Structure 1
Amino acid sequence: MSETQQIEREATLSQRLRAVSFGGHGTGESWTGGEQPDEAPPRYSTAYLRGGLNRAGIAAQTAQHFLMYEALESAAESHRARLGDGFDFWRPELHRVPGLRRDLQHWIGDDWEQEVRGRYTTPGIQTYVNRISEVAHDSVPHFVAHHYTRYLADLSGGLMIARMFMQSYGIEGDAGVEFHVFADIEDPKTYKEAYRELLDRQVFTTAEQELIAAEVALAYSLNNTAAADLEARFEEYAA
């Protein structure tokens, strides 16, 4: 066994997943769209934070988040139905779909769902959603991988992104930005520490831990592909 393999074996699950997260997008758990530090940031994600998108451009990112979380929270309901409310990863305080519905109503209007499932569903986001739907309903390790990847990333960056976004677009109140606000979590740092402790208490076999780490890496790759779809449409979405 190599030294690297020995270190990986001795690491806790949360440590292994954090290492995968750093490899996934280069900046820890704060979601930045997948760019590495030595690459120029994509125009879309830069414009998103700096007030450079039109309403359709903002709606496009919101739609991607909705589709991701709709699939993930549907899987959460499946595990809750089978395992009960005591399932460790039934975490309604993290759930994003209700806020995303209101955000999409704000940015698109009454026909938001038709628009999201039509013009805003790109090949990349559909592939990501399909993967969650295929593996996360019946497999706890697969579910945990996607749960960790999405929620900890967006919880890490959510408040910072919300502040920058609201300032750039002159938004007051929470209209259109509810996705970024975790109202039921008072201290995100403490919550994330408790979440990692929860991960490390799980009784996963070595093979299951390897599966989770591999699925987290795949989730980052799928997210980056979905983000590339937005980048490809930047001219359409630029303010």
Structure 2
Amino acid sequence: MNNLAKELREGTTKSHSMAENVTFVKSFLSGVIDKKAYRKLVANLYFVYSAIEEEMYNNRSNPMINHIFFTELNRKESLEKDLEFYYGPTWKEEIEPSPATNVYIGRIHTIGKNQPELLIAHAYTRYLGDLSGGQILKKIAQNAMNLQGEAGIAFYNFELIEDEQVFKNRYREALNSIPVSEESIKKIVAEANIAFTLNMKIFEELNSSFLKIMTMLSLNAIKNLRDKILRN
């Protein structure tokens, strides 16, 4: 047994904190969500998870990857449901990866072909995060965008996992059962920090969209106030 789960948690604490302080994420957590910016996020995540799940599948027989090859975690199909909700039936023609997303998926495919053990870092960063905060984010999204029922939030629903806390413990045990050297642990932790950075770059792109929207709303409010004053 190794301490990979603990090393990953402790080794990404700073990156995790930085990600939570990106404007888009802070706004999301405070319940301020623009549906257009959010659907762009869903589209970007679709490309990210498609890449992760493709490379995890391609490397499923790898002696390090097979320990954490849990198809019940896959998000691609769930994201497809959300994309149809936000974009309509022609969603495939409507979406494309953002520049930061292209960098992210390029990184995943490169390590999938050349250093597949580093996929562990990307799977850990995305899936453990989804399991840990998913239900909270789901409720925030529902309330902020006035979503009815389960529409538009399939991403947060792990239908094949009965108890998320039990599964997280199982995942951490699987991480610790991977036959990995101390040197490899350091490389995986370093890659997890890269994964956080790549995620932050996507959020920062969405910041500009969010700030444009907030500026436009502010200008409209000022215009309406000015018109009201002039009318009086």
TM superposition score normalised by structure 1:
0.81
Contact 1:76 1:137 in 2 (8 A): no
Runs of 4+ in 1 over 6 A off after TM superposition: none
Q: Which residue of 1 aligns with 2:224?
A: none
Contact 1:53 1:237 in 2 (8 A): no
Contact 1:66 1:100 in 2 (8 A): yes
Q: Which residue of 1 aligns with 2:10?
A: 19
Counterpart check, 1:210 vs 2:186 = yes
Equivalences for 1:185-224 in 2 at 5 Å?
Answer: 185-224=161-200
Distance 1:181 1:237 in 2: 29
Distance 1:49 1:109 in 2: 26
CA RMSD of aligned residues (A): 2.4
Q: Which residue of 2 aligns with 1:96?
A: 75
Contact 1:141 1:211 in 2 (8 A): no
Give me the identity figure in percent: 27
Q: Which residue of 2 aligns with 1:115?
A: 94
Contact 2:82 2:151 in 1 (8 A): yes
Q: Which residue of 2 aligns with 1:126?
A: 102
What is the letter of the counterpart of residue 149 of structure 1? T
Residue of 4, 28, 34 corresponding to 2:19 = 34
Q: Which residue of 1 aligns with 2:25?
A: 45
Listed one character per residue, the Cα deviations across residues 23-57 of structure 1 (whole Å, up to 9, x for unaligned) are 2122xxxxxx7144xxxx51x33444566444322
Residue of 110, 117, 123 corresponding to 1:141 = 117
Say which SS state the counterpart of residue 159 (structure 2) adopts: coil
Distance 1:139 1:205 in 2: 14
Count of matched residue positions in the alignment of Structure 1 and Structure 2: 214
Cα drift, residue 201 of structure 1: 0.9
Q: Which residue of 1 aligns with 2:42?
A: 62
Distance 1:196 1:114 in 2: 38
What is the letter of the counterpart of residue 151 of structure 1? Y
Q: Which residue of 1 aligns with 2:147?
A: 171
Distance 1:107 1:49 in 2: 20
Contact 2:67 2:175 in 1 (8 A): no
Distance 2:212 2:88 in 1: 19
Over 3 Å counting, the alpha-carbon distance change for 1:207 and 1:49 in structure 2 is: closer
Contact 1:154 1:180 in 2 (8 A): yes
Over 3 Å counting, the alpha-carbon distance change for 1:218 and 1:196 in structure 2 is: same
What is the letter of the counterpart of residue 88 of structure 1? H
Contact 2:112 2:119 in 1 (8 A): yes
Larger displacement relative to structure 2 (168-177 or 95-104):
168-177
Distance 1:237 1:178 in 2: 26
Contact 2:19 2:25 in 1 (8 A): no
Q: Which residue of 2 aligns with 1:6?
A: none
Distance 1:14 1:83 in 2: 19
Distance 1:159 1:127 in 2: 28
Cα drift, residue 154 of structure 1: 1.2
Counterpart check, 1:228 vs 2:184 = no
Distance 1:154 1:179 in 2: 9
Computing the radius of gyration from Cα coordinates, the structure with the larger value is 2
